[in-house]
Amino acid sequence: MAKEVKTNAMRALDRLGIRYEYNLYDCGEFIDGAHVAALLGQPPEQSFKTLVAAGKSGGHYVFLVPVAEELDLKKAAAAAGEKSVSLIPVKELLPLTGYVRGGVSPLGMKKRFPTLIHRSAADFPRIIISAGRLGAQIFLAPEDLLTAVEGRLADLL
């Protein structure tokens, strides 16, 4: 793999010795995950988007849900043990995570946040997530992602 292809997310997996595959595609600007899955012929239920939310307590959380679905904020709050959660504004993504909209990966963020992945991820031998930049994807086993982010499965839809 060429050095310039590596993202922080890939480096995080490499450090942990976790196997993954990656895919690069042309993407000059933000395209939502459902459109990316359709363009690349990937199952949307197997492709997960990464959302970052703030809890009422002031803590931050990372949620992964299938790209064609919407995060249920009440279920997300309950899963996080918060009274409520709300998605952070797009302008706060880069300073908080180190990633831009459409390129947010649960791996390799500036700081580790509690991470919850929709339980449907366990239905697949591998899932697709952002590799941490626009136009880059990582394919890996959901249990490996759970290990890497010290996350857990939850009902988020």
pLDDT at 53: 98
pLDDT tens digits, 55-64: 999 999 999 9
Q: What is the pLDDT of residue 4?
A: 60
pTM of the model as a whole: 0.94
Across the range 17-36, mean pLDDT stands at: 88
Q: What is the pLDDT of residues 69-114, one digit of tens each?
A: 999 999 999 999 999 999 999 999 999 999 999 999 999 999 999 9
The model's pLDDT over 108-146, given as tens digits with 9 standing for 90+, comes to 999 999 999 999 999 999 999 999 999 999 999 999 999
Q: Residue ranges of the alpha helices (H) in 6-103?
A: 8-16, 33-40, 73-80, 90-97
**Per-residue model confidence as pLDDT tens digits over 32-65:** 888 899 989 999 999 999 999 999 999 999 999 9
Q: Which stretch of DSSP H or E encloses residue 69?
A: none
Strand pairing report for 60-66 and 48-55: antiparallel
For residues 118 and 151, give the distance between their C-alpha atoms in angstroms, rounded to a whole number: 11
CATH number for domain 3-134+141-154, candidates 3.40.50.300, 1.10.1040.10, 3.40.50.1440, 3.90.960.10? 3.90.960.10
Domains of the chain, by residue range, sit at 3-134+141-154
Helix then strand count (H, E) for the chain reads 5, 8
Quick check: 153 and 31 in contact, CB under 8 A?
A: no
Distance between CA atoms of 143 and 135, rounded to whole angstroms? Answer: 24
The pLDDT value recorded for residue 27 is 81
Q: Is the model's pLDDT at 9 over the cut of 70? A: yes
